[in-house]
A and B are shown apart, each in its own frame.
Chain A
Amino acid sequence: AQSVSQHNHHVILSEAASLELGCNYSYGGTVNLFWYVQYPGQHLQLLLKYFSGDPLVKGIKGFEAEFIKSKFSFNLRKPSVQWSDTAEYFCAVMIYNQGGKLIFGQGTELSVKP
């Protein structure tokens, strides 16, 4: 079965530190890739998405992600985190022949210390 794996369950960083959250998926065909963020008490919001083209995707709030097809990975990065980035981050995959179904990773909780 297709799955999405996020390497870290909980990441703790100090402000201004760099962030990289890992995401790997298990499917060899065409996929769309997403990163969503869920701030405390808020709904899921789309950070960025990859459909095709340039594998380096830029999203909102200074986040970016790189799609490496050979590694089935879509890691999220931010050069300098802020306290306001404290949230849970979800990687998700949509598979070409499975309609609109999103397969989510288990999420990574990010805590940024001021």
Chain B
Amino acid sequence: KAGVTQTPRYLIKTRGQQVTLSCSPISGHRSVSWYQQTPGQGLQFLFEYFSETQRNKGNFPGRFSGRQFSNSRSEMNVSTLELGDSALYLCASSLAAPGHFPPLYGYTFGSGTRLTVV
């Protein structure tokens, strides 16, 4: 059974550019969440999608956006990159469904995309 796949694994971008990261959840998982991991702030929640709808959003500026497709794959986009956006971006998938708490099996994380902004 394939895990959560994130592409690309590494990315170097210049300040001011935009970037799109991709996440393919485990087959059958319809919930996808995104997290930012940095040494200073730790793991912080970005947003969560279920059935192409954003269910929850963290405290990040509007430059951070995401979407989910009908096949549950998700992308996140960061526009006008800043040096502080350098981080490991993690995607997690779950069997969670709206109104279903708790999620059946917790969350499975991908290996992440390491974004460096120069």
Contacts and interface: CB of A to CB of B under 8 A. Distances in A.
Given A101-B58, A107-B42, A46 B107 contact: yes
Chain A interface residue count: which class?
20 to 34
A4 B99 CA distance: 24
Contact of A44 (B48, B102, B109): B109
A18 B107 CA distance: 28
Interface in A47-62: 49, 51
Contacts of A107: 42-43
Nearest to B3: A43
Contact of A43 (B31, B45, B58, B109): B109
B94 interface: yes
A102 B45 contact: yes
Interface SS of chain B: strand
A39 B33 CA distance: 21
Chain B interface residue count: which class?
20 to 34
Interface string A1-42: 000000000000000000000000000000010101000001
Given A100-B33, A100-B94, A105 B42 contact: yes
B3 to A, nearest CB: 8
Nearest to B47: A101
Contacts of A49: 106
Interface in B43-59: 43-45, 48, 50, 55-56, 58
14 contacts: A34-B106, A36-B109, A43-B90, A44-B109, A46-B106, A46-B107, A90-B43, A98-B56, A101-B56, A101-B58, A102-B45, A102-B92, A105-B42, A106-B42
The 6 closest A-B pairs by CB, nearest first: A104-B43, A44-B109, A99-B56, A43-B111, A100-B48, A32-B102
Interface of A: 32, 34, 36, 42-46, 49, 51, 90, 92, 94, 96, 98-107
Interface of B: 31, 33, 35, 42-45, 48, 50, 55-56, 58, 90, 92, 94, 96, 101-103, 106-112
